[in-house]
Amino acid sequence: MRSNDMNSSHYPGVFRVQKAGALAEPLPVRLLLVAGTVLFLTLFLLLPLGALFSEALSKGWQEYRAALLEPDALSAMRLTLVTAVICVPFNLFFGIVASWCTAKFTFPGKSLLVTLIDLPFSVSPVVSGLVYVLVFGQQGWLGPWLQAHDIKIIFAVPGIVLATVFVTFPSVARELIPLMEAQGREEEEAALTLGAGGLQTFFRVTLPNVKWGLLYGVILCNARAMGEFGAVSVVSGHVRGATNTVPLQVEILYNEYNFVAAFAVASVLALLALVSLALKTFTEWKMRQLQKAGA
Amino acid sequence: MSIEIENVSKRFGAFAALEDVSLSVPSGELVALLGPSGSGKTTLLRIIAGLESVDEGKVLLNGEDASLHDPRHRKVGFVFQHYALFRHMTVFDNVAFGLSVKPKRTRPGKEVIRSKVFDLLKLIQMEHLWDRYPSQLSGGQRQRVALARALAVEPQVLLLDEPFGALDAKVRQELRRWLRQLHDEIHVTSVFVTHDQEEALEVADRIVVMNRGKVEQEGTPSEVYDHPANPFVFDFLGKVNLFHGRIDNGVAQLGGVRLPASGSSSGTDGSAVGYVRSHDIDISRHGSGSDAIAAQVRGVLRVGPLVRVDLLHAGGEQLEVDLSRDAADRLALQVGEQVFVRPRNVRFFVNDYQI
């Protein structure tokens, strides 16, 4: 009885160390695995990142600054920000609604809806862009009507926003659906029997329970929205200073052999990626903490 | 508030969860719905709460058709098997939830809510843990918070779904007793679901035994235990031994022993099964073939305060007999030994199926 207690509850640490010891690989194997991983990461991830910044700064800070403050570059950044500012809240709203419907209710056609939500991630972004051209372009289905009412979508900002919304659509919903499904419906049922209405239940029970997952989805959505190339490239028309987003601007500069400027603008995207990564890691850590705490 | 269930049926796809169930719970009683898993007891509880709709039939709360009211206005407190506490809220906020979501007109002031929540926390002996999160509490503490949360809105009916199912044996016993005391204090009509017959017998005023979507028997704990209506109830409420035999002219023949078949469920003659509880069998070394059944001891096991004796009787069937420690010590049974068993309180059920 006594020894049993010591093993299982009073000294959990001792028990765990023994277990880990039994499972661990011998030292040389561990070193080899770690060294291999570090080498791989350096070669394929750190080296390119370093190359990008060193190329961007190869002619000094002055040139770097000038490349970033150039009017076309600034306009590209402005457009990218505008796109993200419209796209992220839109996807946030529809992501929450879609995941709430599918995770907390059952209705016919539910699995079809879940598949549809995933569609943008499974088709090539170029195809999504082309589809928008076919629908909204001059020769497209709605083209004549749009022209008659003097509305410009393709080769203009609305087209870029639409294409970005489309390709980023699943990012929030995909994060939330598994999380909400894992949490089940019991807390909502408890709120209901305690007299809470639908909206009260949603804002006071459902939403707070998924807030970290939601933030994670928003970060991914934002990163994708700002970095999107394929779909946006098809619908933008590449008008300098008007319909170029940051990734498109990078491509143009590169094709003009303006390497310093191309890498300088690209470094903005790389920095954005690093910030997203840091935020993502933090939210992941936070979610794990909560998972450990909740039962 | 009284609960009347009238001819309720409920199907999930091809599975019939409830078939034509009728039941009435008088105001202020503590009733147990007892049955094996899949017997429909939880479905019935959820239907009373309005969390599940009925296919046929009616639920009346205080004589009024409950389907006229949304679940949120039924004044029903529900305690879930896995607590379903709001994980992002403290104990205090969990208990206060039902009061704080009331519409502005009827919502009590902050101070009133505060004092009411602390009264409830005192009732569940947890006022010092008011700022903890559910993840920081033990299972028993979580279940008490869930109960306090349900009581905060002053429900007319309290429904508990396997309230102690996920707790260990010791805590379960304590909480059981505590629930009984609590009910004696506040007298709210309560229905709880359990698959544990001991729990039902100990806590409830009345027991409703369910099986395969139907009510098998309804009555006080001693009624269902001492006078089970059918073999299922007999078998489900405690350990039972079977003796196969025949009934002729009101006399039962069980492996050479003749017994008056007074407890027969039907007066017809034919093959019958005698049901005997494991503590209603005497064992002795002396006897003859006419007043006792010969049996062989297969095993003797001390289980806490009782001694369990496994036997094989002359008819070739296994018997399980519970003896007190004293009786077992006096007999000092040896494995392999030949003994005689005498059943007391035999209930006969004539086979109601034909092959």
Contact yes or no for B99/B113 (Cβ under 8 A): yes
Q: Does the beta carbon of A10 lie under 8 angstroms from any beta carbon of chain B?
A: no
- pLDDT value of residue A10: 42
Residues from chain A that touch B134, judged by Cβ atoms under 8 A, are 294-295
**Chain A neighbors of B49, CB-CB under 8 A:** 193
* Per-residue model confidence (pLDDT) at position A17: 44
Confidence band, pLDDT 50/70/90 cuts, at residue A1: very low
Work out whether the CA dihedral B136, B142, B144, B149 comes out positive or negative: positive
Residue of A194, A199, A211 best to disrupt the B interface, most CBs of B under 10 A: A194
Cβ–Cβ below 8 Å for B150 and A197: no
The bridge status of strand B30-34 relative to strand B189-194 is parallel
* pLDDT one-digit tens code per residue, A123-142: 888 888 888 888 887 777 88
Confidence (pLDDT) at B262 = 60
Give Cα B68 to chain centroid, integer Å. Answer: 30
pLDDT in tens, B286-311: 876 667 888 889 999 988 888 999 99
Distance, CA of B59 to CA of B67 (rounded, Å): 7
Report which of B264, B246, B259, B220 is spatially closest to residue B344, judged by C-alpha positions: B259
List chain A residues with CB under 8 Å of B51: 189, 192-193
Per-residue pLDDT of chain B (355 residues; tens, 9 = 90+): 889 999 999 999 888 899 999 999 999 999 999 999 889 999 999 999 999 889 999 999 888 888 888 888 888 999 998 889 999 899 999 999 999 998 888 888 899 999 999 999 998 888 899 999 998 999 889 999 999 999 998 898 999 999 888 788 888 888 888 889 889 888 899 999 999 898 999 999 999 999 999 999 999 999 999 888 888 999 898 888 888 888 777 777 776 677 776 654 455 667 788 888 888 888 888 876 667 888 889 999 988 888 999 998 877 788 899 999 888 888 888 888 888 888 888 888 876 543 3
What is the three-state SS of chain B? CCEEEEEEEEEECCEEEEEEEEEEECCCCEEEEECCCCCCHHHHHHHHHCCCCCCEEEEEECCEEHHHCCHHHCCEEEECCCCCCCCCCCHHHHHHHHHHCCCCCCCCCHHHHHHHHHHHHHHCCCHHHCCCCHHHCCHHHHHHHHHHHHHHCCCCEEEEECCCCCCCHHHHHHHHHHHHHHHHHHCCEEEEEECCHHHHHHHCCEEEEEECCEEEEEECHHHHHHCCCCHHHHHHCCCEEEEEEEEECCEEEECCEEEECCCCCCCCCEEEEEEEECCCEEEECCCCCCCCEEEEEEEEEEECCEEEEEEEECCCCEEEEEEEHHHHHHHCCCCCCEEEEEECCCEEEECCCCC
Q: How far is CA B237 from CA B34, B210, B227, B231, B351, in A?
A: 9, 12, 11, 10, 20
Nearest-Å Rg of the Cα atoms of chain B is 25
What is the rounded average pLDDT for all residues in chain A? Answer: 82
Interface test mutation site (partner B, options A193, A202, A209, A291, max chain B beta carbons within 10 A): A193
Q: Enumerate the residues of chain B whose CB falls inside 8 A of the CB of residue A193.
A: 49-51, 71-72, 74, 76-78, 150
Asked whether residue A21 carries a pLDDT value surpassing 70, the answer given is: no
A8 touches chain B (CB under 8 A): no
Whether A159 shows a pLDDT value over 50: the answer reads yes
Q: Are B282 and B272 in contact (CB under 8 A)?
A: no
When pLDDT is averaged across residues A77-100 and rounded to a whole number, the result is: 90
* pLDDT score at A32: 92
Q: A194: which chain B residues are within 8 Å (Cβ-Cβ)?
A: 72, 97-98, 101, 149-150, 152-153
Q: What is the pLDDT of residue B351?
A: 64
Q: Is A173 on the interface with B (CB under 8 A)?
A: no
Instruction: Identify the closest residue of chain B to A199 by CA–CA distance.
Output: B101
A197 in contact with B, Cβ within 8 Å: yes
Among A78-87, A94-103, A217-226, A281-290, the minimum mean pLDDT is found in: A281-290
A186, A293, A294 member nearest B80 (Cβ): A186
Residues of A in contact with B61 (CB under 8 A): none
Q: Is the pLDDT of residue A16 over 50?
A: no
* Cβ-based neighbour number of residue A158 at 10 Å: 15
Inter-CA distances, B121 with A259, B149, B180, B306, Å:
69, 9, 18, 39
pLDDT of B171-180, one tens digit each?
888 888 888 9
With vertex at residue B225, the alpha carbon angle to CA B221 and CA B230, rounded to the nearest 5 degrees, is: 120
- In chain B, which residue's Cα lies nearest the Cα of A183? B84
Band of the pLDDT at A188, cuts 50, 70, 90? very high
Q: Which residues contact B217 (CB under 8 A, 6 or more apart)?
A: B208, B209, B224, B228, B229, B230, B233
pLDDT of B170 reads 85
Type of residue at B212 = R
pTM, two decimals, is 0.77
> Does the structure show a pLDDT above 80 at A240?
no
pLDDT at residue A11 is higher than 80: no
**What does the pLDDT read at residue B263?**
52
Of B121, B349, B52, residue with least CA distance to B216:
B349
Q: pLDDT, tens digit, for every residue of B106-142?
A: 888 899 999 999 999 998 888 899 999 998 999 889 9
Name which of A186, A192, A195 is nearest B82 (Cβ-Cβ).
Answer: A186
User: Contact B72/A192, CB-based, under 8 Å?
Assistant: yes
- Beta strand pairing call for B338-343 and B293-303: antiparallel
pLDDT of residue A233: 85
